A and B are shown apart, each in its own frame.
Chain A
């Protein structure tokens, strides 16, 4: 079956612009996660959604970052007024709510802020 997909694959934007990153999880997966992978910071958790519950936003680095998940499926991560330190690979993952809740990752979006 289809895996997690993310778009765009790469995004170059100017400092101060807003960007939207999209994640399409595996069909039937009720949990969706966003992580950021940057040099010097490793992989860090940003936010996760689980079903109809309120999202866990504890990893969002600032109020410039927000995310939503529509209809329990597709998610959009929005970064407003981008800064150069936002340059990173943004990874999305999804999982079921059974067993080890193994997370399956998408290919990521590489964001470059110039």
Chain B
């Protein structure tokens, strides 16, 4: 079974600065998807960014980018130019490609605080 580990329960960053959230995972599969989700106090899980394991290029979405290290099974999220609206819980998630539309396996989350 796959596992996802987020070792930082809480992180803090100053507005306009850059922060990196860590995620590691364990799998025996060679192809899979990785995701970062954001959950603000409203509870709604919002997809931030995704990465296909077969792609070597790191995914980027505006101020959000990932550092995907397949051999190390590491998938960190970098948030540049942090904004107050970035404050939320961030979850790293894994999805197998075997079988269609399979479940997500989540890490325990990192709570990000953004300070002035």
Contact = CB atoms under 8 A, between A and B. Distances in A.
Contact of A108 (B44, B47, B103, B104): B44
Interface of B: 33, 35, 37, 42-47, 50, 52, 91, 95, 100-109
Contacts of B109: 42-43
Nearest to A29: B101
A42 B106 contact: yes
Given A104-B47, A107-B42, A108-B43, 13 more contacts: A33-B104, A42-B108, A45-B105, A56-B102, A56-B103, A95-B101, A97-B100, A100-B33, A101-B101, A102-B35, A103-B104, A105-B45, A105-B46
Interface of A: 30-31, 33, 35, 42-45, 48, 50, 56, 59, 89, 91, 93, 95, 97, 100-108, 110
Contacts of A35: 104
Contacts of A107: 42-44
Nearest to A110: B43
Contacts of B45: 91, 93, 105
A106 to B, nearest CB: 7
A91 B106 CA distance: 13
A44 B52 CA distance: 22
17 contacts: A30-B101, A31-B101, A45-B104, A45-B105, A50-B100, A59-B103, A89-B43, A91-B45, A100-B50, A100-B95, A102-B35, A103-B47, A103-B104, A105-B45, A105-B46, A107-B44, A110-B43
A57 to B, nearest CB: 11
Nearest to B104: A103
Top 5 A-B residue pairs of the complex, sorted by shortest distance between their CB atoms: A105-B45, A31-B101, A43-B106, A45-B103, A108-B43
Contacts of B91: 43
Contacts of A45: 103-105
A45 B95 CA distance: 12
Nearest to A34: B103
